[in-house]
Amino acid sequence: MSGERVIVRQNARFATEFLASDPRRDDSQELTPVERLEELTPYGMLLIGLGACTAIVLHTYAKRHDLRLDRVELRLWYDRVFAKDCETCDTVERYRETIDEEISLEGDLDAEERRRLLLVSKHCPIHKILAYGMEIASRLDERRESAGRETL
């Protein structure tokens, strides 16, 4: 399995397009439109969530500050092969992982406005969670377990 790659494109009216590589094919350099979320792996979903959140934050900021941002394109990469990592997962307590994000800003923006938008991109809530962490408290819902199985 090769790394995950996605592109998130969003215009000033918040219309959003998602493209993703096929992580099941090592030779897949092509990015195709995402028609259904089921087509994505959990890593692809994470990347698309981060990209969409970042695009929304950028466009919202631009509108509030009268910046002429027409379109944002985010290219995101995540490259970790879980099967290889998990060969020793019983002894490894923590993995160091990286997401690469490249942001393209289209519009009549000067260098200072572009710099400000790059800083603002880090205020996306998903970016903050990934960068600084969040504890997750998981538990089983014992009431549902005793009530029997329900279908989706």
pLDDT digits (tens, 9 = 90+) for 17-70: 999 987 666 555 789 999 888 889 999 999 999 999 999 999 999 999 999 999
User: Which pLDDT score, from 0 to 100, does residue 64 have?
Assistant: 98
Cα gap 21→32, rounded to integer Å: 6
- Does the pLDDT value for residue 87 go beyond 80? no
pLDDT tier, 1 (very low <50, low <70, confident <90, very high otherwise) = very low
Residues 6+ apart with CB under 8 A from 122: 128, 131
Distance CA 21, CA 88 (A): 27
Q: What dihedral do alpha carbons 45, 46, 51, 56 form, nearest 10°?
A: 90
DSSP tally for the chain: helices H, then strands E: 5, 5
How large is the angle between the packed helices 42-64 and 125-132, nearest 10 degrees? 130
Helices 111-121, 42-64: inter-axial angle, 10-degree rounding: 130
Query: Which CATH number is associated with domain 4-147?
Result: 3.30.300.20
pLDDT tens track for 104-147: 999 999 999 999 999 999 999 999 999 999 999 999 998 876 55
State the greatest distance between any 2 C-alpha atoms of the chain, in Å, as a whole number: 61
Mean pLDDT in residue range 66-92:
79
